[in-house]
Structure 1
Amino acid sequence: MSQPSRPPSTGVPPVPGSGRSLAPDLARGFMLLFIALVNAQFFLTHSETVRTLTDQVLLFVQSTLVNGRAIPLFSLLFGYGTVWIMRRVVDAGGGWVHARVVLRRRGLWMLVIGLLHGVLLLPVDIVGAYGLGLLLFVGFLRARDSVLLWSAGAVAFTSAALSTVLSLGDVFGASPGDDGPVSAVPSLVEPDFLAASSERFAEWTLYTPVTLLLVVLPPLLVGMWAGRRGILEHPREHLPLLARTAVVGLGVAVVAGLPDALVTAEFLPEPEPVVLVSLWIVHDLAGWAGGPGWAALITLVALRVTERAVRPGGTGSAGAVATAIASVGERSLSCYLAQAVVFTAVFAPYGLGLGASASASGAVLVAVLTWGLTVLLADLSRRFGLRGPAEALLRRLTYARTRLPGTQGEHR
């Protein structure tokens, strides 16, 4: 972190915590709980994860409300944030060329960070996918609203069709009696760190573009559209839209995900492979509705907390909790990477190795405790006025050698 007396390398001033809107940070902070729950279960490499009723209930709730909904939520928020960054560059005196350079440089460094994260810790990485998305699709920020929304729909339709064809193709192409490996990711069961890293490089190279095109891009474009309207920053002006999105989005996610959740939690027997894959496809496609639904619901909660805070004698425990979770959202990259470090240490074969024996509820416990620790550390950082280390590094790399008209020498 730079010293106060040292001039920055960028002409774009940092935004103080008090100047940030609560809703986007609160949504990112809460979303990281979802990411923790999904990734902790991902590290489990054996088939006996459901042992008790508690395991079943937790898996049912997670499959209905979390799995397949976390990345669409995060992707929407990421797209929203790109508009916010472009707006700051323009407000600081730059134009589209400046904004494009800043965003593409940010995307490039995110791709590098994602590669390191994927190779060293977790191959199913989202940072690299977002970085690749910025590099390839930053031009959408200049597109008309109709182009954004129609493109999001077209990409979603194409992705859904491709996912369906590939998934069902795997089922029909499988040999009779072949259940496949317990872990679809070979690096998770590799006992040697260096060998696992080599496996992860190949896995990351494949998963990053696939994740971008099949999962991330549609909500990212919708997030750009929402960012133009400041929907999360000015929720009072968009209450009907937010209410409809929360009810319809989460309603679709729950109803469409229910059959797969019942099977995943072993409340229903596993059906034939074609039916099982079809349930999974419907479940995951509904995540594109669940992500915006969660964003809308959290924004309404943030509005409620904010309005209570401005009343005489306001805030209270709810406001303090929301502020702490929002601190995680403000440091989401650092907290995301910290989660991967903890999960690797706890679950990997060259760590404690619990991925080969932990139950579903055990993974949930590790995820919740890890997320809770990041909440405490992020809130402590907020109190001391500290950025997340990954955010500080990314900002320094992004704005290196960037000088904008009208800002040089004006900001500490």
Structure 2
Amino acid sequence: MVALITPVQTARSLAPDLARGIMLLLIALSHAPAFVDDWNTGPPALDAAAKIVKSLLADNQARNMFVFLFGYGLVQLARRQEARGVDWTSVKKMLRRRAFWLVVIGFANAVIFVPIDIVAVYGATLLVLAPLVRAGETVLWRTSALTLVPATLLMAWQSVAAQGDPATIAEIMEPTLAAHLVAGLPSWPANTLVSTVIVVPAMLVGILAARRRLLDEPERHLPLLRRIAVIGIGVALIGRLPAALLAAGAWATPSAPVGWTVAIAHDLTGYAGGIAMAAAVGLAAARMRRGRLANALAALGQRSLTFYLFQALVWVVLFYPFTLSLHDDMGFAASLAIAVGVWLLSIALAAWMHAAGHRGPAEIVLRRLTYRG
């Protein structure tokens, strides 16, 4: 087992919060088109360009950045507790309480808002893997590598299924709120448990990165961060470009072997890209002066759970038949524009909350539930 105690910092680190703030843009880009009926109703060239952007930046990459930062945050949380003299057994119990309530919050998100949820998946994974927060590096690397294979194959299977005729949530939206609230209940447990496999590799790499304080003290790790960012983003662009071109209709649906190869390359290199983007934010933070934009993005990152749920609420309000019902009024590019707009609104709201001294309501609830035992 590895002790996590290091000198406690007096100021909150900028890079992890910046990364979480930027991550919410990628999450919005990934999710918004799922609520549109027909992806080809806008200007063809604009929709094609939007599909390339989404496939390169967001699909099965935004989640990996998200879960990398989740793993990173677990070490930060455990480190703060141990620095206060809390023993590891108590820290582990606290992590599992947090995990349980993440499952509850994720369940509520999937039932009340939209059936795209990662919060419960994080919670279920942490319930099982909490001891790994303090495991040795060899154990972490080996477990990450071993789970990378089934995780990639699972994602590739989903990607291959979407290559021919991508299904959207708009096709299964219920006409009434009452029907909506019960529609996702039967499939939620299986979807959550299966998805836990996908998040393990990047989560464990996030734990390893936090051990070295790569984002807490980026100025001390500039060469390493630069290598991770340059190599990871380069590999991701090369590995993900064929799938992006396929999604944009630049070439015909390939044979089954080619389709699987394209999907595996896209999803496997998404792990490298998600982690590399976090490293790139660390590089930027090491050179960045804290101005209004940086503070606003950091404020958003500090409230990432709140604004992840806020995005889900917005999708319901905008797209569902029992609300504004815009699901059949826009194409792919327009949905990405909506995603960017929601993210910009989130920045403004987070900056206002920070200036007013308000923490995120979801963070307040989770903190109280986590430390209540």
Match of 1:210 in 2: 194
1:392 aligns with 2:364: yes
1:43 aligns with 2:27: no
Give 1:50 deviation, angstroms. 5.4
Match of 1:23 in 2: 15
Assess if the C-alpha contact under 8 Å between 1:80 and 1:224 holds in 2. Answer: yes
Cα distance in 2 between the residues matched to 1:239 and 1:206? 41
Assess if the C-alpha contact under 8 Å between 2:152 and 2:267 holds in 1. Answer: no
Structure 2 CA distance for partners of 1:366 and 1:357, relative to 1, 3 Å = same
Structure 2 CA distance for partners of 1:49 and 1:134, relative to 1, 3 Å = farther
1:199 aligns with 2:191: no
Matching residue's letter, 1:224: I
Match of 1:406 in 2: none
Assess if the C-alpha contact under 8 Å between 1:133 and 1:212 holds in 2. Answer: yes
Q: Which moved more, 1:80-89 or 1:357-366?
A: 357-366
Match of 1:10 in 2: none
1:232 aligns with 2:215: yes
Assess if the C-alpha contact under 8 Å between 1:46 and 1:183 holds in 2. Answer: no
Cα distance in 2 between the residues matched to 1:360 and 1:291? 23
Assess if the C-alpha contact under 8 Å between 1:65 and 1:253 holds in 2. Answer: no
Match of 1:144 in 2: 136
Assess if the C-alpha contact under 8 Å between 2:39 and 2:331 holds in 1. Answer: no
Selected match of 2:265 from 265, 282, 288: 282
Structure 2 CA distance for partners of 1:283 and 1:104, relative to 1, 3 Å = same
The TM-score, its normalising length taken from structure 1, stands at 0.83
- Report Cα offsets for 1:36-95 as digits up to 9, x if no partner: 111101212335355332222122122112221100001000001001111111111201
Structure 1 unaligned blocks of 5 or more: 1-14, 172-178, 310-314, 402-412
**1:172-183 equivalent positions in 2, closer than 5 A:** 183=167
1:134 aligns with 2:118: no
Give 1:137 deviation, angstroms. 0.4
Give 1:186 deviation, angstroms. 7.8
Match of 1:245 in 2: 228
Match of 2:65 in 1: 73
Give 1:250 deviation, angstroms. 0.7
**1:45-194 equivalent positions in 2, closer than 5 A:** 45-49=37-41, 51-163=43-155, 183=167, 185=169, 188-194=172-178
Give 1:358 deviation, angstroms. 1.6
Aligned Cα root-mean-square deviation (Å): 2.3
Match of 2:5 in 1: none
State the aligned residue count.
366
Give 1:163 deviation, angstroms. 4.8
Query: Identical aligned pairs, as a percentage?
Result: 39
Give 1:187 deviation, angstroms. 7.2
Structure 2 unaligned blocks of 5 or more: 1-7
Selected match of 1:347 from 319, 323, 338: 319
Structure 2 CA distance for partners of 1:356 and 1:34, relative to 1, 3 Å = same
Assess if the C-alpha contact under 8 Å between 1:190 and 1:196 holds in 2. Answer: yes
